Amino acid sequence: MSQDTEQKTESGIESTEDSRQKSGYYINRPSFGKGGPSKLRRQLLREKSLFIVIVIGIVFYFTMLRLDEISEGIRLVIHILKPIIYGLALAYLLNPIVKFVEQNLQLLLEKVLPGRKKACALCRTVGIIAAIVVLIAIVTGLCNMLIPELYRSIRDMVLTVPGQLNDALDSMTKLMAVDSTMGQIITRGLREATEFLQNWMRTDLLTQINVVMSNLTEGVINVVSELFNVIIGVIVSVYVLFSKESFSMQTKKIVYAVFRPSHANMILHLTIKSNEIFGGFIIGKIIDSAIIGVLCFIVLSLLDMPYTLLVSVIVGVTNVIPFFGPYIGAIPSALLILLSDPKMGVYFIIFILILQQLDGNIIGPKILGNSTGLSAFWVVFSILLGGGLFGFVGMILGVPTFAVIYYIVRMLINHKLEMRSLPTETSCYDPLSYVDSDGTYVHAEQNELMKDEGMKNANKSAK
């Protein structure tokens, strides 16, 4: 009887877990919890609050005094853990490929292999191998296509741009070679700028070349070190992909051990939501930028523009940055093409405007959808803030990071409104709607009806 009871209990637990997974227990917003802290905890908090504030103030003071040492220590830790960071990033990017292969192979292998565990293990192995093969194929293909063409484009640019600049200066000098005050000022300015450039090339440029040559060995060592970190990161990503369920269960176990159930469920919900926002935005943006780069290469090749591959790479890479990326890549590309052929430069500007409109209105929304839930203002705000704090990486990751913060703040505000029995939709708080002193929400239409009734009563009393 006891064995039957245990079996029923275990089956009941399994059915409960299955129903929770099917219903999206952590995907939907969990409850904030009704139970507050115990009486003993409230008493301790009242007695210890002043002490905690003093301790926090002292810790903050000494932290600010040792801010340089702490920053240096953080940089050292990040430098040591670079292979782990690269491995986690690669595992995150390769995980969709692994999941896709597993979903398509699992049903087939379960029919062939006797055990479900063997089928799952084989699916995972095949998925990881497929992901690594795709990664190696993409990197190898890009290197074979891009490096020779980029070298050729940069070599041509170095050989032709100085002559193009001289031709442009000669043209401007001829245009301004008139007996007008403005022409004389511009001619004198161009002459002084030319003399300054020649002096700089004779003095400072040679010094800078010597500095660059002396740092070349250190730069090569840094590049080799980064490549070594990337290779180790690939190995780490394989281990992470093999053990991702184990890491997930361990993390979930720790969360439930440290926090109360209501808080733990909220943390797990925010983790799933953050993964949804980051994954949808980053992977979608990579696909979108690849499409834009390919379209740019095809059109520029058909138009026979100079620096076709170099410009396509610049436009595709900078398109990863939301909002500002297209302009960051288009400006230097347009200048390069304008120096080579002004007419082609004008064509390129027109084409890039059309391409960005196509990306912003058709391609981007189809791929990304509303993955962040942010308006245009908050997108610009998050890009400027992230770029100012963390540079290029901050400009890319600033939008999804701010989207997670925005979601948390919106969730807390909606919870407070729900506790007061007030609507959570933003459209309900138009200028004509309000909340009276009793906490009752009055809609705009109801407000208009009340005004109309008041006018009718006033008219009747006047009569």
Q: Please state, for a pLDDT cut of 90, what percent of the chain lies above it.
A: 6
**Other beta carbons within 10 Å of 231:** 12
Q: How far is CA 271 from CA 23, 264, 283, 400, 408, in A?
A: 17, 11, 18, 13, 11
**Is the per-residue pLDDT at 8 higher than 60?**
no
| DSSP letter, residue 362 | I
Pairwise CA distance, residues 164 & 342, whole Å = 11
- How close are the terminal C-alpha atoms of the chain, in Å? 87
Q: Which of 258-272, 280-294, 298-312, 442-456 has the lowest mean pLDDT?
A: 442-456
Q: How confident is the model at residue 250 (pLDDT cuts 50, 70, 90)?
A: very high
Give the Cα separation of 28 and 30 in Å (integer). 6
Question: What is the helix (H) or strand (E) element at residue 442, kind and residue range?
Answer: strand 441-442
Task: Report d(CA 269, CA 259) in Å as an integer.
Answer: 14
| Alpha carbon distance 402, 398 (integer Å) | 6
Question: Cα(417)–Cα(425) distance, rounded to whole angstroms?
Answer: 10
Beta bridge partners of 434: 442
Predicted local distance difference test score (pLDDT) of residue 17: 45
pLDDT cut 70: percent of the chain above it: 68
Question: Which amino acid is present at 133?
Answer: V
Rounded to whole angstroms, how far apart are CA atoms 128 and 98?
6
- Is-contact 395 387, C-beta < 8 A? yes
Neighbours of 25 (CB within 10 A): 16
How far does Cα 60 stand from its chain's mean position?
Answer: 31
pLDDT tens digits along 204-224 = 655 665 665 555 556 567 778
DSSP code for 29 = P
Give pLDDT tens digits for 405-431. 988 898 889 888 888 888 888 878 877
**Inter-residue long-range contacts of 342-350, CB under 8 Å, 24+ positions, other chains counted:** 344/303, 344/305, 344/306, 347/303, 347/305, 348/300, 348/305, 348/311
> What pTM was estimated for this model as a whole?
0.67
The vertex-217 CA angle with 213 and 223, nearest 5°, equals: 120
Instruction: Please say if the pLDDT value at position 346 is more than 90.
Output: no
Residue 19: CB partners within 8 Å, gap ≥ 6? none
Name residue, tokens 């052929």: 341
Which amino acid is residue 85, in one-letter code? I
- Out of 42-51, 370-379, 454-463, the most confident range is 370-379
Please give the DSSP secondary-structure letter assigned to residue 441.
E
Which distant-in-sequence residues (6+ apart) come within 8 Å of 84 by Cβ? 233, 236
Q: At what angle do helices 308-318 and 116-175 cross, to 10 degrees?
A: 120
Using 50, 70 and 90 to split pLDDT, how confident is the model at 41? low
40/34 Cα distance (integer angstroms) = 18
Helix (H, G, I), strand (E, B) or coil at 288: helix
Does residue 432 register a pLDDT over 80?
Answer: no
* pLDDT per position as a tens digit, 364-410: 777 766 667 777 788 888 888 888 888 777 888 888 888 889 888 98
pLDDT band at 436 (very low <50, low <70, confident <90, very high): confident
Token pair for 79: 């430098």
> Does 275 have pLDDT greater than 50?
yes
Could you give phi then psi for residue 231, rounded to 5 degrees?
-65, -45
Q: What is the pLDDT of residue 6?
A: 43
Tell me the three state secondary structure of residue 434: strand
**Radius of gyration over every alpha carbon of the chain, rounded to an integer in angstroms:** 31
Which helix (H) or strand (E) element contains residue 93? helix 82-112
Which tokens hold the place of 186? 């511009």
Residue range 158-181, pLDDT digits in tens: 666 666 666 666 666 666 555 556
- The pLDDT, as a whole number, for residue 360 is 75
- Positive or negative CA dihedral for 447, 448, 453, 455? positive
